[in-house]
């Protein structure tokens, strides 16, 4: 016999998962029904309706893929890319790089447009790259969780893509629910998120929305999407008012996501974005007082993820471990070229509260100055 389940309570201030509201936890304890039960069909319909509001879209094909954000990445690229298609991957950090790698695995002929980690993409450079070499798909990360950069001018980038006949796939995993994401107003063709970041839901379902242009591109495929599990047209038939079986939806996770979406919409998206901006500003001020300057220039800073630069005068991994074990606060280290050089502090969804910012700053002050 093993002991009762009792993980240590943690203040989750890393790149996800974020803290969830008790209402989400209670929703997840609701008795199971079947994935084709009429009551569950109504729940799927609630989720679709609320996802359209959160994505700010009227796209019919809007649903949540089973799996974490990575599953939504697979769904986006696996449905759009056929072997030999050209893809332009905008790479300014780990997740942009991962999209390039995924495109390659689906057989795309991938060109990488790279900027240094900590910088953002320039719409004119994307347009110039497409003018030189057209592409079917352009991938862009809106909130690069590896660097803390908030990509501006997504609408201008979408326009540039469309002028050159390309579709824009936007990774909104860390932005959705925390900072403005405007799928229709910006003209984004496919956008996806994840429940457990700024939406503060349980990991395991990942929102995705597919616009008309992208649906037509999928319909024009000469081969079927290679992964049955992520076939968006089949998933769309399940996420409908008359669902046909595709795979068993994660019932409890759907309960949790539904409640998380309800909470986000009760708060109001604008109010929620303002809360994230306010708490991030407070964190940035406090880090400056601790002599931890930020990696990212002020106009590109992401409210949901902050990357203080480390002076190199202390063992950052040991300090993070003490923060976790002695103070029960989770933050993350940097990776790739930023390993050992930055921390990654997430203020996403329920984690973005002034009292959490104060707790973290006080703990860091004790650890660094104590």
Ligand X SMILES: *Cc1c(COP(=O)(O)O)cnc(C)c1O
What residues from 97 to 116 belong to the interface with ligand X (CB under 6 A)? none
152 or 243, CB closer to ligand X? Answer: 152
> Closest distance between ligand X and the C-beta of residue 192, in Å?
8
What is the C-alpha to C-alpha distance for residues 344 and 331, in angstroms, rounded to an integer? 6
Pick from 94, 199, 76, 88: nearest CA to 148: 94
15 or 286, CB closer to ligand X? Answer: 15
Q: Pick left, alpha or beta for residue 328 (phi over 0 → left; psi -120 to 50 → alpha; otherwise beta).
A: left
Task: Please select the residue that binds ligand X; options are 95, 117, 255, 343, rule is CB under 6 A.
Answer: 95
DSSP class of 247: S
72 or 232, CB closer to ligand X? Answer: 72
94 or 239, CB closer to ligand X? Answer: 94
What is the C-alpha to C-alpha distance for residues 278 and 281, in angstroms, rounded to an integer? 5
141 or 264, CB closer to ligand X? Answer: 141
271: which 2 tokens? 């109010």
Kindly determine how many residues on this chain lie close enough to bind ligand X according to the rule CB under 6 A. 13
Binding mask 239-258 for ligand X (x = CB under 6 A): --------------------
Strand ranges (E), 193-283: 205-210
38 or 116, CB closer to ligand X? Answer: 116
Binding mask 127-156 for ligand X (x = CB under 6 A): --------------x-x-x-----------
80: which 2 tokens? 């759009």
143 or 331, CB closer to ligand X? Answer: 143
30: which 2 tokens? 């609701």
> Closest distance between ligand X and the C-beta of residue 182, in Å?
18
259 counts as binding ligand X under rule CB under 6 A: no
171 counts as binding ligand X under rule CB under 6 A: yes
Residue 269, CB half-sphere, CA atoms under 13 Å: how many? Answer: 15
What residues from 188 to 217 belong to the interface with ligand X (CB under 6 A)? 194
Strands of the sheet containing 305-306, edge to edge, are 305-306, 343-346, 332-333
> Closest distance between ligand X and the C-beta of residue 353, in Å?
20
79 counts as binding ligand X under rule CB under 6 A: no
Ranked by CB distance to ligand X, the top (closest) residue is 69
92 counts as binding ligand X under rule CB under 6 A: no
Positive or negative, the CA dihedral 88, 90, 93, 96 is negative
Applying CB under 6 A, the span of 48-56, 64-72, 331-339, 343-351 interacting with ligand X comes to 64-72
Spatial contact of 207 and 62, defined as CB atoms under 8 Å apart:
yes
148 or 286, CB closer to ligand X? Answer: 148
- The SS3 of residue 87 is strand
173: which 2 tokens? 């995993």
Which residues partner with 239 through β-bridges? Answer: none
What is the C-alpha to C-alpha distance for residues 6 and 58, in angstroms, rounded to an integer? 42
Applying CB under 6 A, the span of 62-70, 268-276, 315-323, 324-332 interacting with ligand X comes to 62-70
> Closest distance between ligand X and the C-beta of residue 203, in Å?
6
From the centroid of its chain, how far is CA 66?
A: 15
83: which 2 tokens? 């072997």
What is the C-alpha to C-alpha distance for residues 166 and 276, in angstroms, rounded to an integer? 32
Task: Please select the residue that binds ligand X; options are 69, 148, 204, 308, rule is CB under 6 A.
Answer: 69
Residues in contact with ligand X by CB under 6 A are 15-16, 68-70, 95, 141, 143, 145, 171, 173-174, 194
């Amino acid at each position: 016999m093993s002991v009762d389940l009792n993980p240590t309570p943690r203040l989750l201030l890393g790149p996800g998962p974020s803290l969830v509201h008790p209402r989400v936890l209670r929703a997840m304890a609701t008795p199971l029904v079947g994935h084709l039960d009429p009551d569950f069909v109504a729940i799927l319909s609630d989720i679709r309706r609320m996802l359209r509001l959160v994505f700010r879209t009227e796209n019919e094909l809007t649903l949540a893929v089973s799996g974490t954000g990575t599953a939504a990445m697979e769904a986006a690229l696996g449905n759009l890319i056929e072997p030999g298609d050209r893809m332009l991957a905008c790479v300014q950090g780990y997740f942009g790089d991962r999209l390039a790698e995924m495109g390659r695995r689906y057989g795309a002929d991938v060109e990488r447009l790279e900027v240094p980690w900590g910088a953002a993409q320039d719409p004119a450079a994307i347009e110039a790259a497409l003018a030189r070499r057209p592409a079917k798909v352009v991938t862009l990360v809106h909130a690069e969780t590896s660097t803390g950069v908030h990509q501006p001018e997504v609408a201008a980038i979408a326009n540039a893509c469309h002028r050159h006949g390309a579709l824009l796939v936007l990774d909104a995993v860390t932005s959705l629910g925390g900072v403005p994401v405007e799928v229709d107003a910006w003209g984004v063709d496919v956008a996806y998120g994840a429940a457990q970041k700024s939406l503060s839901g349980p990991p395991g379902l990942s929102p995705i929305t597919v616009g008309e242009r992208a649906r037509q591109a999928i319909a024009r495929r000469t081969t079927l999407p290679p992964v049955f599990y992520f076939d968006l047209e089949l998933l769309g038939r399940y996420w409908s008012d008359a669902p046909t079986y595709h795979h068993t939806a994660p019932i409890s996770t759907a309960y949790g996501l539904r409640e998380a979406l309800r909470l986000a919409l009760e708060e109001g998206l604008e109010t929620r974005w303002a809360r994230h901006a306010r708490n991030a500003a407070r964190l940035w001020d406090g880090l400056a007082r601790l002599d931890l300057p930020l990696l990212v220039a002020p106009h590109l800073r992401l409210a949901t993820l902050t990357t203080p630069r480390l002076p190199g005068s202390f063992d950052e991994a040991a300090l993070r471990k003490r923060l976790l074990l002695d103070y029960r606060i989770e933050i993350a280290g940097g990776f790739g070229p930023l390993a050992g050089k930055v921390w990654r502090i997430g203020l996403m969804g329920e984690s973005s509260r002034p009292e959490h910012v104060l707790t973290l700053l006080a703990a860091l002050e004790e650890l660094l100055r104590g």
